[in-house]
Amino acid sequence: MSKFKNKTVWITGASDGIGKEMAIQLAEKGARIILTARNKEKLAAVQQSLAGEGHVVFPMDLLKTEEIPAAAEKLLAQVQNIDVLVNNAGISQRSLTKDTDLSVDRKMMELDFFAVVILTKALLPHMLQRKSGQIVTISSVAGIAGVPMRSAYCAAKHAVKGFMGSLRAESYKDNLEVIVVTPGSIRTNISKNALEGDGKAHGTTDPAIANGIPVEDCVKKIVRGMERGEPEILIANTKERMVVLLRRFFPKQLFKVLRNIKTT
């Protein structure tokens, strides 16, 4: 029997990409899915595509971080319990540090870090009381290495990785599984939706993303890691895996490589 049979899974950023595919694959394993993103119509379409019944559309704008605690309380009253939280919602960046308006840095941190922290803290008492739960956060290889034209994105992903590492150490005795997923280039709309230095959408797909790992394959590995309770799940191509290894064992060599890396 699947670990997720009859479990309630809350997925943010569920209208597209990794979040949508996670909803599909976890529903196939018998989970009840709570779908969150800003676009209610897209969420409804995803809901209709899911196997099983009882899935919930729960629209939220996670940039309105002050509204998150009350929204989480409202949802808990509606569904009674949440077994798994998947912090997937986020946005990327495509601009040099010197060309990036501070408002973009703040927006990146607000969505990719603070919204994750606030939502996690909103559900944490519930999971600690039940002494059961799984918190899954989608980070990035950018959360390991500082990549050109991604300064704010890298900062947020480094931050969330550190936060979840501390939470994992603190909550192990309470039977909570804290999982950080580190994807590399995955075929999603992440680069199309990324912000440029002035806050406008990038609007194009990077070659690395276009030639990246299919989202279905990525999510299969995520779900497999969730079933096993793996604390960290790396999903990346050979070059991106080398970045992770170099950062750990040969940081000076990596820094030299990153000086000349071509990013868009």
Does a structural domain hold residue 1?
no
* Mean per-residue pLDDT, 122-135: 97
* Mean per-residue pLDDT, 20-28: 98
Q: Strand runs (DSSP E) across 82-206, as ranges?
A: 84-87, 133-138, 176-183
* Mean per-residue pLDDT, 101-117: 98
pLDDT of residue 25: 98
Does a structural domain hold residue 2?
no
Does a structural domain hold residue 91?
yes
- In this prediction, residue 254 has a pLDDT band, given cuts at 50, 70 and 90, of confident
Q: Is the pLDDT of residue 257 over 90?
A: no
Q: Is residue 133 classed as helix, strand or coil in its secondary structure?
A: strand
Token pair for residue 17? Answer: 């990409």
Does a structural domain hold residue 45?
yes
Does a structural domain hold residue 211?
yes
pLDDT more than 90, % of the chain:
90
Other C-beta atoms lying within 10 Å of the C-beta of residue 227: 12
Residues involved in catalysis: 153
For the stretch 161-184, pLDDT in tens is 999 999 999 999 999 999 999 999
Number of structural domains (the chain) is 1
pLDDT of residue 259: 85
pLDDT of residue 261: 78
* Mean per-residue pLDDT, 44-52: 97
pTM of the model: 0.95
End-to-end CA distance of the chain: 44
Does a structural domain hold residue 94?
yes
- Domain with 129 in it: 8-260
Q: Is the pLDDT of residue 209 over 80?
A: yes
* Mean per-residue pLDDT, 103-122: 98
Residue-averaged pLDDT of the chain? 95
The domain that holds 181 is classified in CATH as 3.40.50.720
Name, in order, each residue with C-beta under 8 angstroms of 41's C-beta and a sequence gap of 6 or more: none
Does a structural domain hold residue 3?
no
